[in-house]
Amino acid sequence: RELAPGAYWAPGWLTLEQQAWIVARFREWVQGPVPLRGAVVNGHEMSVKTVCLGWHWRPYRYSREAVDVNGNRVLGFPDWMVRLGRRALAEVDPDLAESYSPDTALVNYYDAQARMGMHQDKDEASSAPVVSLSIGDTCRFRFGNTENRGRPYEDIDLASGDLFVFGGPSRLAYHGIPKVYPGTAPQGCGLEEGRINITMRVTGLQG
Ligand code: MD5
Ligand code: FE
C-alpha cells in the first residue's frame, strides 16, 4: 500500500526462507573486517547497532574505511543485493527498477531496548529511493512529514519480511523507530531475538 506519495509498504515480501538466508549472511558480516557498532551522534552512542556494506556510514558522511571503528575497509556491496533491490523497486516502480544501483547498505540491529529517534536520511548525494527490509521482531515505525519531527505522522507496525520503499517526496520524510516488540520474531526467520533492518541506498559518491 502507498502510505504517502513515494512511500510503499509491502508486508511479508520476503519468504521465511529468504529471511533465514539473509540472517545467515548477517552473521558473516558481523564477523567481517568491521564489527557491529553503535554510531556516536552528538556525543551519544546509538542504541541501534550498525554494520555497513559498500560504504561505511557515520553521521553526516560516508567513507570506504570504518574510520570511527577500526579503520578497516568495509565489505563490498554484494551483487545479489543489487538484484534484490531492483526486484523490490520493481514492485512499486518498474520504470525505475532496472537502472537502480544501490552501492551501500546500512544493516541495523535492534535489541529489545533499541530505539531510533525521528530523523531524515540526507547523507546521500542522490535522490534515488531507499529500499528497506525488516527481519525478526516486529517494531513500531513512525512515518512523519518532511517539515519537522512532530505531527502529522502515522505509526505502523513493521514485521519480519516486510518491504518498504521510500522514494519521491517521501525520500526526505522524518521517520523513526519508537519501539521494538520483543519475542515477536516468527519461527524460521533465523533470528531468535531482536530485529534486523537493511536499508539499501545510492550514496551518489565515486570511487
Ligand atoms: C529501520 N532505518 O526500520 C529504518 C528503516 C535508518 C532507518 O531509519 O536510517 O537506518 S529506513 C527508513 C527510511 C529511509 C528513508 C526515508 C524514510 C524512511 N522515510 O521517508 O520515512 O530501521
Ligand atoms: Fe532513517
Whole-angstrom Cα distance, residue 13 to residue 166? Answer: 15
Do the domain assignments include residue 61?
yes
**Is ligand 1 within 6 A of the CB of residue 108?**
yes
Residue ID of nearest Cα to ligand 1 atom 3: 197
Do the domain assignments include residue 144?
yes
**What pLDDT was estimated at residue 207?**
83
Do the domain assignments include residue 206?
no
- List, run by run, the mean pLDDT of 10-residue segments along the chain (207 residues): 96 98 98 98 97 98 98 98 98 95 98 98 98 99 98 98 97 98 98 98 95
How many A from CA of 33 to the centre of ligand 2?
Answer: 24
How many A from CA of 195 to the centre of ligand 1?
Answer: 14
How many A from CA of 106 to the centre of ligand 2?
Answer: 10
DSSP 78-133: PHHHHHHHHHHHHHH-HHHHTT----EEEEEEE-TT--EEEE-----S--PPEEEE
**Is ligand 1 within 6 A of the CB of residue 121?**
yes
**Is ligand 1 within 6 A of the CB of residue 166?**
yes
Range of the domain at 12: 2-201
50: β partners: 37, 108
How many A from CA of 122 to the centre of ligand 2?
Answer: 9
**Is ligand 1 within 6 A of the CB of residue 91?**
no
Please return the burial class of 65, using the count of CB atoms within 10 Å of its CB with bins 0-12, 13-18 and 19+: middle
Residues 190, 161 contacting (CB under 8 angstroms)? no
CATH number at 57 reads 2.60.120.590
Residue 180 cell numbers, joined: 521494538
DSSP 23-72: HHHHHHHTTSSS--BPPEETTEE-SSEEEEESSEEETTEEESB-TTTT-P
Give the DSSP H/E element, type plus range, for residue 22. helix 16-29
Atom of ligand 1 nearest to the CA of 195: 22
**Is ligand 1 within 6 A of the CB of residue 132?**
yes
Q: Which ligand is nearest to the CA of 177?
A: 1
Residue linked to cell 525488516 = 134
> What does the CA dihedral 93, 134, 69, 24 come to, rounded to 10 degrees?
-110
**Is ligand 1 within 6 A of the CB of residue 138?**
no
Q: Which ligand is nearest to the CA of 106?
A: 1
Do the domain assignments include residue 164?
yes
- Upper half-sphere CA count for residue 21 (Cβ side, 13 Å): 8
Do the domain assignments include residue 207?
no
**Is ligand 1 within 6 A of the CB of residue 104?**
no
If one counts the domains in the chain, the total is 1
Do the domain assignments include residue 153?
yes
Do the domain assignments include residue 196?
yes
Residues 146, 181 contacting (CB under 8 angstroms)? no
Residue ID of nearest Cα to ligand 1 atom 5: 132
ipTM attached to this prediction: 0.94
Whole-angstrom Cα distance, residue 166 to residue 124? Answer: 13
